[in-house]
Chain A
Amino acid sequence: RKEVEQDPGPFNVPEGATVAFNCTYSNSASQSFFWYRQDCRKEPKLLMSVYSSGNEDGRFTAQLNRASQYISLLIRDSKLSDSATYLCVVNRGEKLTFGTGTRLTIIP
């Protein structure tokens, strides 16, 4: 079983819609959680950290459920510029473990 699992998609969503991604992790000792965004042929960039209480950054909301070992990302009012691959990332100690990513395409 992979340490971090994501639905690879692709998700094709009309502009303005709400879309949600899920991610599960297998190691209960994981300490920190993140969502990264990766554009085609570019490097990953930190989108947001994920806290147990849930956190929001503009149109983006991240949730963490430690009991179920589950992380989610919600994007509201999606924009064309949101088209990218979204990587779920889990930290344990000094190393980050990346999911394979969920590909999102926003359709005009």
Chain B
Amino acid sequence: NAGVTQTPKFQVLKTGQSMTLQCAQDMNHEYMSWYRQDPGMGLRLIHYSVGAGITDQGEVPNGYNVSRSTTEDFPLRLLSAAPSQTSVYFCASSYVGIQSNYGYTFGSGTRLTVV
């Protein structure tokens, strides 16, 4: 009964370093997405995927890469970390066809600080 699992929970990076935020879900959801949340900005969509092998950009994709090789996993890669990427990152998943009103299930978040 894990739901959406994100790792790590906290991370400090130096400017220019790269890293991967992990996201896994065990609900067989087709749709997975990454959001970042900043004070006063709300949640903003970075990238999303509607199934294995399919990804697309959201509102703020620059500086991030994703891939979806399996239904369960949707890692987010920071290519060269910048202080502007300091944020809380949430992974979310759902069934395709959000009109069914199931809503999204969110992971517990990764708090990233870039110094």
Tell me if B108 counts as interface (CB < 8 A to partner A).
yes
Residues from 44 to 94 in A contacting B, C-beta threshold 8 Å: 44-46, 49, 87, 91, 94
Chain A contributes a number of interface residues (CB within 8 A of B) equal to: 22
In whole angstroms, what is the CA distance A87 to B106 when docked? Answer: 14
Q: Total A-B residue pairs with C-beta atoms closer than 8 Å?
A: 51
| Residue from A4, A8, A34, A95 with most neighbouring chain B CB atoms (10 Å) | A95
Tell me if A17 counts as interface (CB < 8 A to partner B).
no
B41 contact set on A, CB distance < 8 A: 100
A96 contact set on B, CB distance < 8 A: 45, 98, 104
Tell me if B74 counts as interface (CB < 8 A to partner A).
no
Binding site for A on B (CB under 8 A): 31, 33, 35, 40-45, 48, 50, 58, 90, 96, 98-99, 101, 103-104, 106-109
